[in-house]
């Protein structure tokens, strides 16, 4: 997340940064605005000018998807993290999108099913918040030009799975409610949605449902936070309203039931695993105690389809075949692209119709091992800016994590390139021009070097239960990428480490405790500081200092007990932190004491992020960008009401030039904020046959400041620079050539004690 601070080891910047500096100094972005000020009276005589905000365009534009169902020659695909949510109809023979419908609520569609006649498509949405708005929809496929209509709501916030019984009754399950997840029924005759009760009182969520004329099967377990809940399969008798536990013994240790489907006289069951492999079972509908079970490949078994006697399903990155008769499970090989996460498998004319999170549909012939691939956007699916994940900047590029891709924004020419990767880049850093990401779910650490021509690829893998990276930081002392991770289904988390120079990686499990996720990471002088949190906003709010090389705990404290940690950053010898309940604290690292606390809930609650930039700690929440004074710790709003469209918590990052990057709505923005207004020019030039470095700093404010200029070739202090005046420092290098590099100008203002650190770069020079 945070750009490494400029030191001697990072001072020699090349290529992209120099070009970027020229772009930023010479031409404005396509749209530039200044943050608004509430009234002239709010600006004091010594107040810095408002920041410049450059709109760099939509952060990530895709047709991102999360579900599909095949009906005849058409596959219907549900969107993910775009607004409004939508369903597209792809005609498989022609490879063209023939219809689109938009839904009035929700950000994603994970649940879709069609009635036995193939007439009505039912869909359920995921939502940011619960309420009275509908989350169930029906689309009449006989009139696809007519929009889908809302038919009601289940009481849970999210609809995770939906099915249609032979009599047309619809059953749905989900999560996000205040109670264990119930089974819900929609009666198309009356239009009523009914709560049929919670079959599993220990479940925290449900992602699987299937129905026959007499029985509804409910699959639940734990989705987040660990705890006592495990995989639970329940059979609900539609006549008596009684549920009974029919979970196969072999699945009872897995976190949850992931998929259910009825084929003929059998119920197919897939589990989601964590510390072991997932399982697949074929159960006799006439005698549910009679079943066969097989251990699968990977951590998930979902999206069942059947051709003849062979069952096909998806794991994390491909299609598997399963023979219920023999119990054999094998990978399906074919001539085609890597599929990544799969959100639907259908059958058409003896071939599999596979919907990939990478935005394409692959029609796979498992016998011939061939495939035909259709890109959905090329076929006519409407792409839109999606809610974003992680963020990193450096060497003239900004990287934004999306679903199944990372958008690479080139700041020199404005182009955007999409780097394909499974899952989601939850956070990232740029180190020496190389992108390092933490990939959800259970994808480990990935790396991309734009100079070597290789694609974004995995460089470190970890146990599957350590599945959700939260924060990525760079330890410049140990030269390690540090990744804080949560374990969704087991609880607790881990600290991952990765050395880009050697390719070595490490992991320390539960460095805080067995319950708290590792939500936040900061690093200073070779020590990693980890912030803990639970699934909800409560928690001990523990901060642990750890040696990232050995994993040894150095000390721990709870600066503001009762709330989970949201973000951490270090400036000087102070550790700054935000909590999910709007708390702010500062810890003196030398004394290991809390020296400041405050309530900042007016600008920040929930998931937020911190970054140290120009010697000042900045923060971003879902609503605002703000900063903290480095000595008084007073909060100042920098960009109020920025309202970034983040999917899993706000992010903010910076580059080598001191620019900040975050989202405003769904657009990527660059923020140039200077708490002490200083303009810096650094230039390497020739003095005869020798080189010389000249640094000029101008005081753009309205009161005197002091400066300290640091370069690879020497330092200079200037006690006082008047408003509008320049301070110039010249360093004779005494060599014929000098490489490109960087300088830092420390500025201090006496009236309020503000201190900032301002970077600048220079081109190399060769003299004769």
Reported as a pLDDT band with limits 50, 70 and 90, residue 736 is very high
Residue 289's Cα: distance from chain center in Å?
A: 41
Nearest to 702 by CA among 48, 42, 34, 43: 48
Cα dist from 437 to 338, 559, 574, 722, whole Å: 20, 29, 27, 44
Asked whether residue 106 falls in the same domain as residue 241, the answer is yes
Asked whether residue 24 falls in the same domain as residue 91, the answer is no
The secondary structure of 109-125 as a DSSP string is EEEEEE-TTS-EEEEEE
In a domain, 132, yes or no: yes
Asked whether residue 473 falls in the same domain as residue 545, the answer is yes
Asked whether residue 587 falls in the same domain as residue 715, the answer is no
Reported as a pLDDT band with limits 50, 70 and 90, residue 29 is very low
Nearest to 347 by CA among 301, 308, 302: 308
Q: Is pLDDT of 281 > 90?
A: yes
* pLDDT value at residue 25: 43
Q: Is pLDDT of 6 > 70?
A: no
Asked whether residue 666 falls in the same domain as residue 687, the answer is no
Asked whether residue 655 falls in the same domain as residue 705, the answer is no
Q: Is the peptide bond before 158 cis (omega within 30 degrees of 0)?
A: no
- Sign of the dihedral through C-alpha 485, 486, 488, 490: positive
* pLDDT value at residue 228: 66
Reported as a pLDDT band with limits 50, 70 and 90, residue 768 is confident
The secondary structure of 385-446 as a DSSP string is EB-B--EEEETTEEEEE-EEEEEEEETTT--EEEEEEEEEEEEEEEETTEEEEEEETTTEEE
Q: Which residue has the higher pLDDT, 259 or 130?
A: 259
Which structure tokens are listed for 722? Answer: 């008047």
Asked whether residue 593 falls in the same domain as residue 689, the answer is no
**What order of strands is seen across the sheet that includes strand 170-175?**
158-164, 170-175, 184-187, 192-195
Neighbouring residues of 42: CB distance < 8 A, sequence distance ≥ 6: none
User: pLDDT > 90: what percent of the chain?
Assistant: 91
Residue 462's Cα: distance from chain center in Å?
A: 18
Residue 347's Cα: distance from chain center in Å?
A: 32
Q: Is pLDDT of 531 > 70?
A: yes
Which structure tokens are listed for 190? Answer: 């009356």
Q: Is the peptide bond before 84 cis (omega within 30 degrees of 0)?
A: yes
In a domain, 368, yes or no: no
Q: Is 378 helix (H, G, I), strand (E, B) or coil?
A: helix
711: number of Cβ within 10 Å:
21
Q: Is pLDDT of 42 > 80?
A: no
Q: For the domain that residue 402 is a member of, what is the CATH number?
A: 2.130.10.10
In a domain, 355, yes or no: no
Q: Where among 645, 672, 699 does a domain terminate?
A: 672
Domain, as residue range, for 686: 678-766
* pLDDT value at residue 310: 98
In a domain, 190, yes or no: yes
Place of tokens 């900063």: 627
Length of the chain measured in residues: 768
* pLDDT value at residue 541: 96
Do 533 and 541 meet the contact criterion of CB atoms below 8 Å apart? Answer: yes
Which structure tokens are listed for 392? Answer: 């990193």
Tell how strand 678-687 and strand 616-620 pair up. unpaired
Q: Is pLDDT of 754 > 60?
A: yes
Cα dist from 304 to 69, 258, 261, 320, 721, whole Å: 11, 11, 7, 10, 72
Per the prediction, the chain carries an average pLDDT of: 93
In a domain, 381, yes or no: no
Q: Where among 672, 694, 711 does a domain terminate?
A: 672
* pLDDT value at residue 663: 98
C-alpha span between 375 and 355 (Å, rounded): 10
For 715-737, what is the mean pLDDT? 96
Which structure tokens are listed for 513? Answer: 């405790």
* pLDDT value at residue 739: 96
The secondary structure of 276-314 as a DSSP string is S--EEEEEETTEEEEEEEEE-SSSB-EEEEEETTEEEEE
- Sign of the dihedral through C-alpha 641, 644, 650, 653: negative
Asked whether residue 184 falls in the same domain as residue 256, the answer is yes
* pLDDT value at residue 7: 36
End-to-end CA distance of the chain: 42
Q: Where among 672, 690, 717 does a domain terminate?
A: 672
Q: Exposure string (b/e) for 733-748, b if CB count within 10 Å is 16 or more?
A: beeeebebbbbbbbbe
* pLDDT value at residue 3: 52
Asked whether residue 649 falls in the same domain as residue 686, the answer is no
Q: Is 264 helix (H, G, I), strand (E, B) or coil?
A: coil
Asked whether residue 582 falls in the same domain as residue 473, the answer is yes
Do 565 and 557 meet the contact criterion of CB atoms below 8 Å apart? Answer: no
Please state the domain count of the chain: 3
Neighbouring residues of 1: CB distance < 8 A, sequence distance ≥ 6: 390, 391, 392, 427, 428, 429, 471, 472, 473, 609, 611, 651, 652, 653
- Sign of the dihedral through C-alpha 203, 209, 210, 211: positive
CA angle centred on 751, ends 749 and 757, rounded to 5°: 20
DSSP3 helix / strand / coil % (the chain, rounded to 5): 5, 55, 45
764: number of Cβ within 10 Å:
14
* pLDDT value at residue 648: 86
For 473-479, what is the mean pLDDT? 98
Do 221 and 205 meet the contact criterion of CB atoms below 8 Å apart? Answer: yes
C-alpha span between 391 and 398 (Å, rounded): 7
Element (H, E) at 234: strand 232-237
Q: For the domain that residue 217 is a member of, what is the CATH number?
A: 2.130.10.120
For 714-726, what is the mean pLDDT? 97
In a domain, 369, yes or no: no
Q: To 10 degrees, the CA torsion angle through 175, 176, 182, 187?
A: -80
In a domain, 715, yes or no: yes
The region, left, alpha or beta by phi > 0 then psi within -120 to 50, assigned to residue 590 is alpha
User: pLDDT > 70: what percent of the chain?
Assistant: 93
Residue 12's Cα: distance from chain center in Å?
A: 31
What single-letter DSSP state applies at residue 9?
A: G
Asked whether residue 446 falls in the same domain as residue 587, the answer is yes
Asked whether residue 75 falls in the same domain as residue 56, the answer is no
Q: For the domain that residue 743 is a member of, what is the CATH number?
A: 2.60.40.10
C-alpha span between 366 and 243 (Å, rounded): 38
Q: What are the strands, taking DSSP E only, across 135-204?
A: 136-140, 149-152, 158-164, 170-175, 184-187, 192-195
In a domain, 317, yes or no: yes
Reported as a pLDDT band with limits 50, 70 and 90, residue 224 is confident
Nearest to 556 by CA among 524, 512, 519: 512
Q: Is pLDDT of 215 > 90?
A: yes
What single-letter DSSP state applies at residue 10?
A: G
Do 614 and 629 meet the contact criterion of CB atoms below 8 Å apart? Answer: no
Q: Is pLDDT of 23 > 50?
A: no
């Amino acid at each position: 997340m945070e750009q490494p601070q400029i030191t001697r080891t990072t001072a020699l910047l090349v290529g992209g940064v120099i070009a970027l500096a020229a772009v930023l100094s010479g031409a404005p972005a396509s749209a530039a605005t200044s943050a608004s000020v509430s009234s002239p009276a709010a600006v004091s005589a010594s107040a810095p000018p408002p920041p410049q905000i450059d709109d760099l365009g939509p952060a990530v534009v895709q047709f991102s998807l999360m579900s599909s169902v095949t009906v005849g020659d058409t596959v219907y695909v549900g969107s993910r993290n775009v607004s409004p949510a939508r369903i597209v109809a792809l005609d498989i023979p022609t490879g063209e999108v023939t219809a689109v419908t938009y839904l009035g609520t929700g950000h994603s569609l994970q649940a879709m099913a069609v009635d036995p006649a193939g007439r009505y498509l039912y869909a359920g949405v995921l939502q940011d918040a619960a309420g009275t708005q509908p989350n169930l929809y029906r689309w009449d496929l006989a009139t696809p030009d007519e929009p889908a209509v809302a038919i009601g709501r289940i009481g849970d916030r999210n609809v995770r799975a939906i099915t249609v019984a032979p009599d047309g009754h619809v059953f749905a399950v989900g999560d996000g409610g205040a109670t264990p997840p119930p089974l819900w029924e929609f009666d198309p005759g009356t239009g009523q949605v009914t709560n049929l009760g919670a079959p599993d009182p220990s479940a925290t969520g449900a992602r699987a449902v299937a129905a026959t004329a007499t029985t509804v099967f409910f699959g639940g377990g734990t989705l987040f936070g660990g705890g006592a809940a495990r995989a639970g399969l329940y059979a609900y008798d539609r006549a008596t309203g009684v549920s009974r536990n029919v979970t196969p013994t072999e699945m009872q240790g897995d976190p949850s039931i992931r998929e259910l489907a009825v084929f003929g006289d059998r119920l197919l069951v897939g589990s989601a695993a964590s510390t072991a492999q997932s399982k697949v079972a074929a159960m006799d509908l006439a005698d549910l105690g009679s079943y066969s079970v097989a251990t699968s490949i990977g951590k998930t078994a979902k999206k069942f389809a059947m051709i003849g006697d062979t069952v096909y399903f998806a794991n994390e990155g491909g299609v598997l075949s399963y023979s219920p008769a023999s119990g054999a499970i094998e990978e399906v090989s074919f001539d085609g692209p890597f599929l990544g996460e799969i959100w639907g498998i259908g059958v058409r004319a003896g071939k599999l119709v596979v919907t990939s999170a990478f935005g394409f549909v692959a029609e796979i012939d498992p016998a011939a091992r061939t495939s035909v691939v259709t890109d959905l956007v090329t076929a006519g699916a409407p792409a839109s800016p999606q809610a974003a994940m992680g963020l990193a900047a450096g060497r003239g590029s900004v990287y934004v994590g999306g679903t199944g891709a990372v958008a690479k924004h080139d700041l020199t020419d404005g182009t955007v390139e999409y780097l394909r990767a499974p899952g989601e880049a939850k956070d990232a850093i740029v180190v020496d021009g190389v992108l390092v990401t933490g990939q959800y779910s259970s994808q480990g650490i990935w790396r991309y070097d734009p100079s070597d021509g290789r694609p974004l690829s995995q460089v470190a893998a970890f146990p599957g239960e350590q599945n959700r990276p939260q924060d990525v930081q760079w330890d410049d002392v140990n030269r390690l990428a540090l990744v804080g991770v949560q374990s969704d289904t087991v609880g607790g988390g881990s600290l991952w480490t990765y050395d880009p120079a050697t390719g070595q990686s490490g992991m320390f499990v539960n460095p805080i405790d067995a319950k708290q996720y590792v939500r936040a990471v900061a690093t200073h002088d070779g020590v990693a500081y980890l912030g803990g949190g639970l699934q909800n906003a409560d928690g001990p709010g523990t901060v642990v200092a750890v040696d990232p090389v050995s994993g040894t705990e150095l000390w721990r404290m709870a600066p503001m007990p009762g709330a989970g940690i949201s973000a951490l950053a270090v400036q000087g010898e102070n550790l700054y932190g935000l909590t999910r309940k709007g708390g702010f604290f500062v810890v003196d690292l030398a004394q290991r004491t809390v020296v400041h606390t405050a309530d900042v809930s007016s600008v920040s609650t929930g998931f937020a992020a911190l970054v140290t930039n120009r010697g000042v700690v900045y923060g971003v929440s879902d609503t605002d960008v703000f900063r903290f004074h480095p000595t008084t710790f007073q909060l100042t709003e920098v960009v109020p009401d920025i309202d970034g469209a983040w999917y899993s918590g706000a992010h903010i990052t910076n580059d080598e030039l001191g620019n900040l990057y975050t989202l405003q709505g769904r657009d990527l923005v660059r923020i140039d904020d200077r708490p002490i207004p200083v303009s810096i020019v650094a230039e390497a030039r020739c003095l005869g046959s020798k080189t010389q470095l000249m640094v000029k700093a101008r005081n753009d404010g309205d009161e005197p400041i002091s400066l300290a200029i640091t370069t690879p070739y020497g330092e200079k202090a200037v006690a006082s620079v008047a408003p509008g005046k320049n301070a110039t420092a010249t360093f004779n290098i005494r060599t014929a050539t000098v490489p490109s590099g960087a300088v830092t100008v420390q500025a201090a203002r006496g009236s309020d004690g503000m201190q900032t650190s301002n970077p600048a770069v220079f081109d190399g020079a060769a003299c004769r």
